[in-house]
Structure 1
């Protein structure tokens, strides 16, 4: 006969493994210590095993069986959370074409392209953590996620869209403005205006421009305002240079666009999705690929 185990008790067990004491576990779960004590005894009774070593007075710790149980409970609770997320996302988004991304450029490009494509996507502007791509697709939070690498396995596949690369917008009186192209090393020591959340691009520019300072802004509006009243250089990409926000930022003609000719200045962009969604998502991705700025 299958056991029926209370998920709340499993959550208490996982918390105990993490925090190590009844008092710390109770504090984390915002319940009383006697409640935790009773819960752990009840869990042992339901399982029919001993989970704790109580040989030391006023102190308990997980025995080997308890450690195994806590590890397996953590896996089970995650599966339950994934199940719940998947059902809720399906019900909430079943009639919507949701799109996310690890980097902002493809989202802005897609948003500008919306009137030219049949599908009307719902864009999630909060960037997806690279480690969360598989989970968000599996749990149906997004139908497509733009990634900076290809993912192909039994569950997922990626369609190559094109490359994104940066250009420099710089004060026309800066000597670099007279050059046809610059490298990242040429930008040593400069101070740049940048958006705080640019995904993979942030690491690329910080790692490849020596001794540079980056004035991070939380919003595009802040970037636009500061760039219009300052001489700090900033970056645009082939995906963002013609977007309305960028055009607004460049009003006044107080910047010169300079090409960045550097081997590190390129990123391959893919549309990654569940194979089961192939027929749904590929028309949108192919339309993006055909319109991709060179």
Structure 2
């Protein structure tokens, strides 16, 4: 059986090219590297190096083995990561989402569910949904589309997320029961930076608007306390723990095309016995208004 540590040393040697540089990078002695490379040759039963006085260098076989070793080492890392993620997944439901609303809502309402919930720190990209589920990065991902083209994955419709705007009580919009995107034309908004699909929706639908994006949610909430810029909320994010109660602002639903998105709970089919009952509870409790 080939020693993984020997493959690691071979890859380092392929990168640095000399025994001394390899030893310095690995923080060992050059003779230790020499012995390790000889041991690897013995384990493989082939010569990996051409040798000269005070120097060795990879031959064609050695270069091939070094490239293959990189793949083996990456596969070993992937296996370790997958095993760790799977083991952790048995203890709780780790939730990811392509937009922030579902995670914010569930984080605020954890006491309604018997399952222990944890949340991915970053939004999931559409192109990573399938791989993140299969690598157990997330046990459940809230998506804006139903996954239909993979037999190992299924989706369950949960509800919609509707967009609203929160304005200062002295704003000309404050007396409206609802607004359109056109009503918001030319305004400046304070907006969380990582809002997934909502970023494209507001930028494409509100004419001549300016969006002041903020990375830190606490800083964003502080800005809303000291400035009168309107902010966006949804039926899922309105009661976020990041938002302080604000009696000086009024929330107004946006009634227009592209003012809502459908959300699906997406998961591996073999997780159905655990996740379907949970998702049915989520759908039953899903907020439908403001």
TM-score (normalised: structure 2): 0.75
Mapped pair 1:268 → 2:262? yes
SS in 1 for 2:283: helix
Question: Are residues 135 and 13 of structure 1, via their aligned partners in 2, closer, same or farther at CA, if it must alter by over 3 Å?
Answer: farther
The separation in 2 between residues aligned to 1:39 and 1:76, in whole angstroms, is 18
Mapped pair 1:161 → 2:158? yes
- 1:114 alignment partner in structure 2: 110
Superimposed CA distance per residue, residues 159-212 of structure 1 (whole angstroms, 9 cap, x where no aligned partner): 222222321222345455566422279444x43222233334345445655562
Question: Are residues 53 and 204 of structure 1, via their aligned partners in 2, closer, same or farther at CA, if it must alter by over 3 Å?
Answer: farther
Out of 240, 248, 259, which is 1:253 matched to?
A: 248
- 2:94 alignment partner in structure 1: 98
Structure 2: gaps spanning 5 or more residues: none
SS in 2 for 1:150: coil
The separation in 1 between residues aligned to 2:212 and 2:257, in whole angstroms, is 19
Question: Are residues 258 and 89 of structure 1, via their aligned partners in 2, closer, same or farther at CA, if it must alter by over 3 Å?
Answer: closer
Question: Are residues 75 and 146 of structure 1, via their aligned partners in 2, closer, same or farther at CA, if it must alter by over 3 Å?
Answer: farther
Partners of 1:144 and 1:271 within 8 A in 2: yes
Shift of residue 109, structure 1, vs aligned partner: 1.9
SS in 2 for 1:160: strand
SS in 2 for 1:182: coil
Task: Give the length in aligned residue pairs.
Answer: 282
- 2:142 alignment partner in structure 1: 146
Mapped pair 1:126 → 2:121? yes
Partners of 1:170 and 1:258 within 8 A in 2: no
Out of 266, 276, 279, which is 1:282 matched to?
A: 276
Computing the radius of gyration from Cα coordinates, the structure with the larger value is 2
The separation in 1 between residues aligned to 2:182 and 2:11, in whole angstroms, is 48
The separation in 2 between residues aligned to 1:98 and 1:59, in whole angstroms, is 49
Mapped pair 1:234 → 2:228? no
Shift of residue 105, structure 1, vs aligned partner: 0.7
SS in 2 for 1:293: coil
Question: Are residues 241 and 184 of structure 1, via their aligned partners in 2, closer, same or farther at CA, if it must alter by over 3 Å?
Answer: farther
Shift of residue 95, structure 1, vs aligned partner: 3.2
Shift of residue 37, structure 1, vs aligned partner: 6.8
Question: Are residues 66 and 225 of structure 1, via their aligned partners in 2, closer, same or farther at CA, if it must alter by over 3 Å?
Answer: same
Out of 196, 199, 204, which is 1:199 matched to?
A: 196
- 1:213 alignment partner in structure 2: 211
The separation in 1 between residues aligned to 2:19 and 2:223, in whole angstroms, is 50
Partners of 2:92 and 2:118 within 8 A in 1: no
Partners of 2:11 and 2:70 within 8 A in 1: yes
The separation in 2 between residues aligned to 1:217 and 1:159, in whole angstroms, is 31
Cα RMSD after superposing both structures: 3.9
- 2:73 alignment partner in structure 1: 77
Shift of residue 287, structure 1, vs aligned partner: 1.7
- 2:167 alignment partner in structure 1: 170
Structure 1: gaps spanning 5 or more residues: none
Moved more, 119-128 or 135-144: 135-144
Shift of residue 146, structure 1, vs aligned partner: 1.8
